[in-house]
Amino acid sequence: MSQYQSNCSHSTTSFGCKNSTDEITESIAINTVDGSTETFSFKEGSSESYENSISRSLVENISTKKNKKSNVTSDTAKNNWFSGFTDGFKRMDTTELENNPNLTDIERENIKATGSPLKRNLKNRHIQMIAIGGSIGTGLFVGSGAALSSGGPASLLICYFLISTMIFTTIQALGELAVTFPVSGSFLSLNTRFLSPAWGFCMAWNYLLQWLIALPLELVACSMTMRFWIDTINPAVWVAIFFTLIAMVNLFGTKGFAEVEFTFSIIKIFAVIGFCILGVIINCGGVGANKEYIGGKYWKEPGAFNNGFTGFCSVFVTAAFSFSGTELVGLTSAETANPRKTLPKATKQVFWRITIFYMVSLSIIGLLVGYNDPKLIGNGEGAEASPFVIAVRNAGIKVVPSIMNVVILIAVLSVANSSVFATSRTFATLAEQGFVPKIFGYIDKSGRPLIGILGALTVGLLGFLAASSSQEEVFSWLMALSGLSSIFTWMSICLVHIRFRKALKVNGRNIDELVFTSMSGVIGSWWGVILNIVILLFELWSGLFPKGYLYGDNIIANGADVVNFFKINLNIFCLCGMMIAYFIWKGSKGVYYVKIEDIDIDSGRREENMEELKVTIALEKQEMAAKPWYYRIYKTWC
């Protein structure tokens, strides 16, 4: 009632006092705060009090108006939903850079990356699951089988351990860079800033090819995985179903991608943990056809190593490719709500996913499956060739292989989903840097790089080659275009980190201004560079002399194989071609090396006040130092 002002239409009556000398019908005019006037009538002498009558009438009137307004609002909401849906596809309003002659190409690209209109919708739980489950894919579930058959269980563990150390140091370096510079394109745009635009051009296109080709490959893998249950349906049918599913998910934007990856990652994590527990029980004779103790039998017969040094090299290369996609968490930095808090946690999860999901599970695989198992050396494909499925099936358990095949299918779909996300963001980064037509940088009001998504889906239509008899040959050459992309990407991340630390030193600054620092430091990044070079050398060797490699349905005999060499190492020649294309495009105007003193170490930071940031970091360190030792250990690794 306090929002209303009242006055009476009769001189014998006023609001707040009763004068009932006449039995007449009284009327009250209420002036509302919005300027309208409402009139209410009542009979004098009724049992209902004067004030209650007015209150009741007011409530009834207001309720009636609200219902009317609600109906109007409901109709408006429907119209707004449709218009909001359609408007969401319109280009996000962004400020175009003026043609300032004082800006260099690098400065202009840094500003564009900093002001990207991508929506920051990724939450902490999304990033954690993407980080943990991101590397659990077909490389672990299926690729480990090829590695086991090529080099044996000892080579499997040694190579995966060495690659794991490299991945750990690389992701630590990436975490430091992504937290400090949460810009669009992450490590792809930082290549241009810290190394050179020429190298940034090559790496961005290289990374684009890697994920662009991944979608049709994974769609074909999905159709092959479905053959585990039924092989009478045309593979193109499964490709169409999964293609539609992936397209719908990514058209929902970052949230759609993140929620699906969150769900997939949880399933994969529980599957690996469940397999490890079951594997220990099988090895100890707890379950199985004969319930016999296995122990280290397969390390003695057929043995711990296979195919000598060449076999070791092939496992080393396979192990490296098994970790492809681990850097994807860095690409999410520009779409993370709070990278300062979220990305360090995600980076620390690398240790646990390497330890539990790779080293423990592969140790159990080496105990349960011999490298000469028929399913590993050509009599199985897809899920049939997965050592996880073989281990359980050899134990005589009938239901679990189907469950593991579901997990493998989910892992394949996860890679396909990630490929559209990575491709679209890479397209946007290339457009920002002027490496592709600007239309590919189209980001709508919902924060989706729409043209990039459509570009990825268009190439994904190649997956319908699954129905072709020559699809294997086509895809083997498509894979060759980007076969070594991950190796060059990881090496570039380590080089960028080394250059960043050196640039800080040259500018008289130090790591006290960094919210998160790599646990392995610059030494770890150098280790990453060296090990990636070793992987490339092993790749060249094993590609030219592929002893122990499976090619089609046959094992290649000793000697050089030139066709196989180009299929495995074609990406190196593609990179050389990209560098030549950049030279032809830019000529003498191109920048082929950025001097250390010219590196921009400030653009893209969300915290602009360095002194205030240093104080905040110092206080956080003091607070952490006051915590119990077990809490500090937990925070260091988790």
Cβ atoms of residues 40 and 30 within 8 Å = yes
Cβ atoms of residues 546 and 564 within 8 Å = yes
Cβ atoms of residues 281 and 424 within 8 Å = no
366 token code pair = 């080496």
The C-alpha atoms of residue 150 and residue 547 are separated, in whole angstroms, by 9
Q: Please name which of 463, 430, 479 lies closest in space to residue 215, comparing C-alpha atoms.
A: 463
The residues, any chain, with a CB within 8 Å of residue 71's CB and separated by 6 or more, are none
511 token code pair = 């790591």
Alpha helix locations (H) across 88-186?
A: 105-114, 124-133, 138, 144-180
The topology under which CATH files domain 105-606 is Amino acid/polyamine transporter I (1.20.1740)
Going by their DSSP bridges, the two strands 554-555 and 550-551 should be labelled as antiparallel
The C-alpha atoms of residue 484 and residue 233 are separated, in whole angstroms, by 34
Q: What is the pLDDT of residue 488?
A: 92
The C-alpha atoms of residue 29 and residue 34 are separated, in whole angstroms, by 14
Cβ atoms of residues 564 and 548 within 8 Å = no
The C-alpha atoms of residue 65 and residue 58 are separated, in whole angstroms, by 11
The C-alpha atoms of residue 372 and residue 285 are separated, in whole angstroms, by 22
Phi-psi region of 35 (alpha: psi -120 to 50; beta: other; left: phi over 0): left
Residue 420, class by beta-carbon neighbours within 10 Å (0-12 exposed, 13-18 middle, 19+ buried)?
Answer: buried
User: Helix, strand or coil for residue 38?
Assistant: strand
Alpha helix locations (H) across 143-300?
A: 144-180, 187-194, 197-226, 235-251, 254-283, 297-300
Q: What is the pLDDT of residue 5?
A: 42
Q: Please name which of 567, 551, 548 lies closest in space to residue 479, comparing C-alpha atoms.
A: 567
Q: Taking the domains of the chain in order of start, what are their residue ranges?
A: 4-79, 105-606
**Degrees (nearest 5) of the Cα angle 602, 603, 609?**
55
139 token code pair = 């490389």
The C-alpha atoms of residue 325 and residue 333 are separated, in whole angstroms, by 15
Q: What is the pLDDT of residue 213?
A: 87
The C-alpha atoms of residue 306 and residue 374 are separated, in whole angstroms, by 15
The residues, any chain, with a CB within 8 Å of residue 180's CB and separated by 6 or more, are 500, 514, 515, 516, 605
Alpha helix locations (H) across 301-399?
A: 308-322, 328-331, 339-352, 361-368, 387-394
Q: What is the pLDDT of residue 532?
A: 93
Q: What is the pLDDT of residue 392?
A: 87
Q: Phi, psi at residue 31, to the nearest 5°?
A: -90, 115
User: Helix, strand or coil for residue 29?
Assistant: strand
For the chain, the residue count is 638
Q: What is the pLDDT of residue 12?
A: 39
Going by their DSSP bridges, the two strands 37-43 and 550-551 should be labelled as unpaired
User: Per 3-state DSSP, what percentage of the chain is helix, strand, and coil (rounded to 5)?
Assistant: 65, 5, 30
Q: Phi, psi at residue 343, to the nearest 5°?
A: -65, -40
Cis, peptide link before residue 216, omega less than 30° from 0: no
The C-alpha atoms of residue 218 and residue 81 are separated, in whole angstroms, by 35
Tell me how far CA of residue 445 lies from CA of 190, 252, 253, 429, 454, in angstroms: 26, 12, 11, 17, 16
Q: Which residue has the tokens 């596809």?
A: 89
Q: What is the pLDDT of residue 30?
A: 53
168 token code pair = 């750990």
514 residue type, one letter:
L
Q: What is the pLDDT of residue 11?
A: 41
Tell me how far CA of residue 543 lies from CA of 223, 483, 563, in angstroms: 28, 12, 9
The beta-strand segments (E) located in 430-566 are 550-551, 554-555
Q: What is the 3-state secondary structure (H, E, C) of 373-432?
A: CHHHCCCCCHHHHCHHHHHHHHCCCCCHHHHHHHHHHHHHHHHHHHHHHHHHHHHHHHHH
Helix H or strand E encompassing 472: helix 471-481
DSSP string, 49-81: -HHHHHHHHHHHHHHHHHHHHHHHHHHHHHHHH
119 token code pair = 């929506």
Going by their DSSP bridges, the two strands 25-32 and 550-551 should be labelled as unpaired
To the nearest 10°, report the CA torsion of 456, 461, 467, 470: -70
Q: With a cut of 70, list the residues of the chain below it in pLDDT.
A: 1-121, 132-135, 184-185, 288-290, 333-335, 337, 377-383, 471-472, 546-560, 606-610, 638
Instruction: Give me the residues paired with residue 495 across strands.
Output: none
